[in-house]
């Protein structure tokens, strides 16, 4: 068993060849192009773009919803239904195709009962 030509038992971590990697070149970044390092520096830009809005799918309006309980369920103050979606203003406007002033869909009107004189 103790053959001098047999390799010695390897322990964990031994026998794995170490590969040397070339060093990555370090290019200096000008201070005017560096990203902000703290959240406080990035917060004002994000605060202006991210706004959570509520959209009532029954009224077809952006509303100030009322939270119901501890879950993500909201009630519309106008029609009092629970069919309210929420998200960022940009996502709600793009998903529900909401223009700036949104109005309820106009139901198809019945043809008028006027007679045409010949």
String of b and e for 69-79 (b: at least 16 CB within 10 Å)?
eeeeebbbeee
CB-based contact 104:61 (threshold 8 Å):
yes
52: which strand partners?
Answer: 88
Query: Does residue 37 surpass a pLDDT of 60?
Result: no
Confidence of residue 15 (pLDDT cuts 50, 70, 90): low
Tell me the C-alpha distance between 105 and 50, whole Å.
Answer: 27
Q: What pTM, to 2 d.p., does this model score?
A: 0.45
Q: What is the pLDDT of residues 54-73, one digit of tens each?
A: 999 999 999 999 999 989 99
Tell me the C-alpha distance between 118 and 115, whole Å.
Answer: 9
The pLDDT of residue 3: 61
Tell me the C-alpha distance between 108 and 11, whole Å.
Answer: 81
């Amino acid at each position: 068993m103790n053959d001098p030509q047999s390799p010695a038992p390897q322990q964990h971590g031994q026998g794995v060849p170490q590969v040397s990697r070339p060093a990555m070149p370090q290019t200096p970044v000008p201070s005017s192009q560096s990203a902000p390092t703290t959240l406080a520096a990035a917060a004002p830009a994000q605060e202006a773009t991210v706004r959570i809005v509520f959209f009532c799918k029954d009224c077809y309006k952006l509303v100030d919803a009322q939270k119901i309980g501890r879950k993500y369920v909201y009630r519309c103050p106008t029609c009092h239904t629970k069919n309210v979606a929420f998200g960022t203003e940009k996502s709600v406007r793009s998903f529900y195709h909401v223009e700036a002033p949104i109005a309820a869909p106009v139901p198809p009107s019945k043809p008028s009962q006027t007679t045409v004189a010949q």
